[in-house]
Amino acid sequence: MSSTETKKITSMFVLEVIGRPQEFLIQTLNDLVKKIGEEKGVCVKEVKINPPILMKDQKDFFTSFAEIELETENILYLAILMFKYMPAYIEIISPQNLSLTNNDLNDVLNELTRRLHGYEEIVRMVQAEKIILERKLREELASHSENKIKASEVKKETPKENSQKKKIEKKK
């Protein structure tokens, strides 16, 4: 096989979903399978979607999974699918032996690095937002506590003090 020739990779993906109602899980899995089939360099060969089952110790959450046999043009497309759809399980069915050029490996590693940087950026943004929300919550709680203290001070006034206060306010 020449270095420009690519060997297709057949693999099995298991995608798992959790949620409710159970009909939604089947529709979600069907939608995911359709999206995977529309990806560049990917051909879906066979699909088995398992019926939803009630999750252990849950009243209304279900789980279901799809077994998807697919063929990708190369290892890069397989890696992209892995990051995009985050399967619970991946098995390479064929070929038995994979040989990669350094360019193929560079493509996979660069895709991995790009994705990791993207995830890191999201984590940093979420952490910054968390800090802002915590600060606002503390300010709101402090303000609420101050208002509660002021309200309790008003309640401590005797009826006589309260009526005198009202007379003064009426004169204004």
The predicted model scores a pTM of 0.66
Contact 98, 75 (CB under 8 A): yes
pLDDT at 151: 64
**What is the rounded distance in angstroms from the CA atom of residue 69 to the CA atom of residue 44?**
6
Query: How much is the pLDDT for 166?
Result: 65
Q: Where are the domains of the chain?
A: 9-96, 100-159
pLDDT at 16 over 90: yes
Which pLDDT score, from 0 to 100, does residue 147 have?
73
- Considering the segment(s) 9-96 as one domain, its CATH architecture is 2-Layer Sandwich (3.30)
Neighbours of 76 (CB within 10 A): 20
Assign residue 128 a region (left: φ > 0; alpha: ψ between -120 and 50; beta: otherwise): alpha
Is residue 20 scored above 70 in pLDDT? yes
What is the longest distance spanned by two Cα atoms in the chain? 101
Mean pLDDT of the chain: 87
Confidence of residue 2 (pLDDT cuts 50, 70, 90): very low
- The pair of structure tokens assigned to 113 is 């690095």
Give 118-149 pLDDT, tens digit per residue: 999 999 999 999 999 999 999 998 887 777 76
